[in-house]
Chain A
């Protein structure tokens, strides 16, 4: 027993002595930014952030030492520890990408007031009142709407080809949770499709996971079996796209192109391009400018992006229709949540009596203006979406995530 302890102790001593050599030298005079990601680039969600971080690094002329990317950081104390470690390494600004990171980043922001903390998809910056904590999102509902146009045109093409009737045109959607971000996403996608294919309906299945390849694949397959002619998803794995490729059903992806693995069925993907935001916060931190508490980029800022259209799978004329809609968005003449274009509760028009969860705990904050001039004001009160009502034409198959 003694010998074993001694031998393992030897390892320990070796480690410690080497560490002593390594632990020196941290140039604090240099600007540094740290990124905290939930998974690594195997997840389309995280890959989208990592790619943007690298693009921002390139654009701002930063070195690899100045941009520290930590991957596989859980939504628990390890997130706070990762943030504190980045502070130790001299980061001036720290960005975390997952919703569940938020309360741990706030904890770090309280402890390190001299460091700026930015958090994507979070909801608390406008209420915690910390000058060094900020939320960010994008008007991704506009991107979803555009992707919806591509889906609608594909459905029209299939109807014209006689594959099914206009009444059978049904989209299937794989969602993660009945959370506002997801609801806002599939609703805008549906409205985009409906703008070109008026007879379209949609079925939504929830998985109850943000990332679960098997659940997402199963949900997509169940939707296809249920007569859905086209699938889209708000979930982070390749589950749904691969199920579509196997079944030969067109798929509209999210957060990045899936064309490489799904060449026959991938149509297009809408994504948030985080590069503009990263460039913005790096610029702010380097030049001591104040970062917005809630930042929400749109098409004009380059935050809402579409990946390359798969010309071989999409309907002819799609690109022209997209260009026209993008021009309208840029000019401000097209509004996704125009209450003229959809109804709730079998024919009622949405008005200010609807009280979405604009607060941090899913409750409505009194005094928030929700519908202005007939338009639902998405992402105005805070950056994260809060459109959370169930509109006509969309069927939620499993609100409680069961079968």
Chain B
């Protein structure tokens, strides 16, 4: 309190919010961030793993693009993750923290496998595909609807509720695999006879096209439809929404049905356009990674194509690093983590300007 305020001490660093930034400049910041990330990981790899960092980067790119098959896997992986990210987006825009995409996708996958196991051979294949698709979407929607109802009518915490629904979905899969896996091993063999047909001889194209269509629809829905607008208003302020006559309960429930249905659809793609079986690890945490994809893209469906691609690229790369260099998987994960951290971190420099104290000495002398 007794500090004399005669010496005006300017802090070493101070930060101001940028009003606007030219796109060239923001791109430059991002480019610098990526270069910094690569340099930083190079140092880490050299010190920790005693490996040539260029070899590590070469592995990373070869893991993602090394062969046509790897490129297709990369694109398919991107679309699956994109699909789940699209599913969580409407809820997130509404500030409904849906952490249950994992479970909603799992339950969709379980529904697909159940259809295959229970009545795959009971009807013509085209009809079966339609029935299976509808069932998966409905089951996913129900899994999203349950927490939405509790949120809308009892104001339960949706984060905890949806997280717990994940465990229920997982246990249901364990349960049915025990019943259906006749040999008692807890695994269900695959049923490739009920797989979706290949398009132009390509096993992934169907899923890729389907998700890209959903992506376009979601963009239009959120941006140009009345319902999309309602979601944004509820997200901004529930009171405003009530004031202008939006039925908030209805919007919450409707939006979570869409979220869940879409997750169920992705679960269907995972099974019917891929594994043709189900296990508790089939979604493999992508329900959570999708949240990052959605958030990194600022909930914009079109940007999500790129953020999902980036994350899958990093994952493919990380796996290849551990295979090629016989390193623990952690080194790939560390690389991925650092690159993501820099990319997310650079947003700060796009939104804020950092000022350093200048020529303080001269000021004091004067």
* A binding-site residues for B, Cβ under 8 Å: 1-12, 15-16, 18-23, 40-41, 64, 68-72, 74-78, 81, 84-85, 88, 99-100, 102-104, 107, 123, 176-181, 208-210, 357, 360-363, 388, 401
Whether A179 and B65, one on each chain, are in contact in the complex, defined by CB atoms closer than 8 angstroms, is no
Mask of B30-42 contacts with A, CB within 8 angstroms, 1/0: 1100100000000
Return A178 CB to nearest CB of chain B, in Å.
5
Q: Mark B66-90, 1 if CB is under 8 A from A, else 0.
A: 1101100100000000000000000
Contact (Cβ within 8 A) B62 A23: yes
Contact A9 B306, beta carbon cutoff 8 Å = yes
Q: Is the CB of B275 within 8 A of A77?
A: yes
Closest A-chain residue to B189, C-beta based? Answer: A103
B69 contacts which of A74, A76, A81 (Cβ < 8 Å)? A81
* Contact across chains for B69 and A84 when beta carbons are under 8 A apart: yes
B47 within 8 A of A: no
Assuming A4-B26, A85-B73, A401-B178, what are 9 further A-B pairs, CB within 8 angstroms? Answer: A2-B23, A5-B302, A9-B306, A19-B61, A19-B65, A69-B326, A71-B323, A74-B284, A81-B73
Instruction: Name A361's contact: one of B27, B57, B69, B183 (CB within 8 Å).
Output: B183
Q: Are A69's CB and B323's CB within 8 A?
A: yes
Contact of A103 with B190 in the complex, beta carbons under 8 Å: yes
Whole-angstrom distance between the alpha carbons of A280 and B178 in the complex?
A: 35
Give CA–CA (A3, B67) in the complex, Å: 30
- Given A5-B303, A68-B323, A208-B186 in contact, is the A23-B66 Cβ separation under 8 Å? yes
- Among residues of A, the one whose C-beta sits closest to the C-beta of B325 is A64
CB of B294 within 8 Å of the partner chain: no
Which residues of B sit under 8 angstroms from A178, Cβ to Cβ? 184
Scan B52-66; emit 1 where CB is below 8 A from any A CB, else 0.
000001110110111
Interchain Cβ contacts under 8 Å between A and B, 27 examples: A2-B23, A3-B27, A6-B23, A6-B27, A7-B26, A9-B306, A15-B313, A23-B67, A40-B322, A72-B319, A75-B277, A75-B281, A76-B275, A76-B281, A77-B276, A78-B275, A81-B69, A81-B73, A88-B69, A99-B185, A177-B178, A177-B185, A177-B186, A208-B186, A209-B186, A357-B184, A401-B178
Residue B351 lies at the interface, judged by CB distance under 8 Å to chain A: no
A176 CA to B73 CA, complexed, in Å = 33
The reply on B329 being an interface residue by CB < 8 A is: yes
Contact of B183 among A77, A210, A357 (CB under 8 A): A357
**B190 — which chain A residues lie within 8 A by C-beta?**
103-104, 107
From known contacts A19-B64, A69-B323, A208-B174, infer whether A1 and B189 are also in contact, taking CB-CB under 8 Å. no
Q: In the bound complex, do residue A4 and residue B57 qualify as a contact, i.e. CB atoms below 8 Å apart?
A: no
Partner of A85, one of B30, B67, B277: B67
Would you give the 0/1 interface string for B258-278, flagging 1 where the beta carbon is closer than 8 Å to chain A? 000000000000100011110
Report chain A residues within 8 Å CB of B322: 40, 71
A179 to B61 CA separation, bound complex (whole angstroms): 42
Residues A8 and B62 in contact in the complex (CB < 8 Å), given A81-B69, A179-B185: no
In the complex, A121→B325 CA distance in Å?
A: 28
Query: Does B121 reach chain A (CB closer than 8 Å)?
Result: no
User: With a CB–CB cut-off of 8 A, which chain A residues contact B24?
Assistant: 3
Interface assignment of B282: CB less than 8 Å from any CB of chain A: yes
**Chain B interface residues toward A at CB < 8 A:** 23-24, 26-27, 30-31, 34, 57-59, 61-62, 64-67, 69-70, 73, 174, 178, 182-187, 189-190, 192, 270, 274-277, 279, 281-282, 284, 300, 302-303, 306-307, 309-310, 313, 319, 322-323, 326, 328-329
Complex CA–CA separation, A7 to B21 (angstroms) = 14
A97 to B189, CA, bound (A): 15
CB distance from A286 to the nearest CB of B (A): 22
Q: Please name all residues of chain A whose beta carbon is closer than 8 Å to the beta carbon of B184 when the two chains form the complex.
A: 177-180, 357, 362, 388
Residues on B with beta carbons closer than 8 Å to the beta carbon of A22: 58-59, 61-62, 65-66
A11 and B34 within 8 A (CB): yes
Smallest Cβ-Cβ distance to A12: which chain B residue? B309
Q: Lowest 4 A-B CB distances belong to which pairs?
A: A3-B23, A19-B65, A76-B275, A362-B183
Known: A10-B31, A100-B187, A104-B190. A15 touches B65 (CB 8 A): yes
Q: Is the CB of B277 within 8 A of A103?
A: yes
Chain A residue numbers with a CB within 8 Å of B58 are 18, 21-22
- Closest A residue, CB atoms, query B30: A7
| CB–CB A3/B69 < 8 A | no
Assess the A74–B183 pair: CB atoms within 8 A: no
* Residues in chain B near residue A107, CB distance under 8 A: 190, 192
Most buried by B among A19, A69, A99: A19
Nearest-Cβ distance from residue B215 to partner chain A, whole angstroms: 14
- Bound together, the chains give a CA A403 to CA B59 distance in angstroms of 47
Given A75-B281, A208-B178, A401-B178, decide whether A19 and B66 contact each other with a Cβ distance below 8 A: yes
Residue of A nearest to B328 (CB): A40
With A and B bound together, what is the CA distance between A209 and B183 in angstroms? 15
With A and B bound together, what is the CA distance between A19 and B306 in angstroms? 18
| Cα–Cα distance between A96 and B24 once the two chains are bound (Å) | 50
- Chain B residue numbers with a CB within 8 Å of A360 are 183
Contact across chains for B277 and A74 when beta carbons are under 8 A apart: no
Chain A residue with minimal CB distance to B27?
A: A7
Q: Which residue of A has the minimal Cβ distance to B203?
A: A77
CA distance A70 to B70 in the complex (A): 14
CA separation between A243 and B260, bound complex, in Å? 40
B69 contact set on A, CB distance < 8 A = 81, 84-85, 88
Complex Cα distance, B186 from A100, in Å, reads 9
Shortest beta-carbon distance from A322 to chain B in Å: 31
- Chain A residues lying within 8 Å of B276, measured Cβ to Cβ, are 77
**Complex contacts, A85 vs chain B, CB 8 Å:** 67, 69-70, 73
Query: Chain B nearest CB: distance from A6 CB in Å?
Result: 7
Q: How far is the CA of A71 from the CA of B333 in the complex (A)?
A: 14
List the B side residues contacting A388 at CB < 8 Å.
184
Of all chain B residues, the one with the shortest Cβ separation from A72 is B329
Report the bound CA distance from A210 to B187 in whole Å. Answer: 10
Q: Please indicate the chain B residues that have their CB under 8 angstroms from the CB of A41 in the complex.
A: 328
Beyond A1-B300, A40-B329, whether A74 also contacts B279 by CB under 8 A is: yes
B304 CB to closest chain A CB (Å) equals: 11
